[in-house]
């Protein structure tokens, strides 16, 4: 399980770069939609920061549980919500981007990561130990 988290973070980072590249292409092709593409891109970056924070908290809580200590806090929902609100405020008030596009960017990465995780766990569950080659 410990090896799954860095792989999931790499996948999330790659997805973020994919969405950012789509946003940059959209800005180049349709400059009149700058508030939408820009807001989506700021939301995606805020979402990635929230994902890194969640991975850090999960690792820290796991290490504390393995050491036999009890964790004082949870998974840092308030901090991740604050990151999302900061991304929205920066996008809307600072850069004059669209709030709806920013919210879509904030929710896009966790949703795609959840779907990819479900597909990956479905593939693992489908395989049996007897499916290996050479076993009878």
The per-residue pLDDT for range 11-47, each reduced to its tens digit, is 889 989 999 999 999 999 999 999 999 999 999 999 9
Read off the tokens for 67: 């050491």
Tokens of 92: 């809307």
| Phi, psi (rounded to 5 degrees) for 75 | -95, 15
CA angle 74, 80, 82 (to 5 degrees): 120
Distance CA 35, CA 40 (A): 8
pTM above 0.85, yes or no: no
How many C-beta atoms surround the C-beta of residue 68 within 10 A?
Answer: 6
Query: Quick check: 102 and 40 in contact, CB under 8 A?
Result: yes
């Amino acid at each position: 399980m410990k090896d799954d988290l860095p792989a999931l973070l790499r996948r999330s980072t790659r997805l973020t770069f994919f969405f950012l590249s789509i946003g940059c292409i959209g800005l180049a092709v349709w400059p009149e939609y700058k508030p939408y593409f820009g807001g989506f891109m700021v939301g995606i970056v805020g979402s990635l920061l929230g994902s890194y924070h969640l991975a850090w908290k999960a690792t820290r809580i796991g290490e504390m549980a393995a050491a036999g200590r009890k964790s004082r806090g949870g998974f840092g929902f308030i901090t991740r919500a604050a990151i999302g609100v900061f991304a929205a405020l920066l996008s809307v008030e600072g850069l004059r981007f669209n709030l709806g596009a920013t919210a879509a960017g904030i929710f896009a990465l966790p949703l795609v990561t959840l779907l990819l995780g479900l597909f990956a766990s479905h593939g693992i569950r489908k395989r049996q130990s007897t499916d290996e080659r050479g076993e009878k």
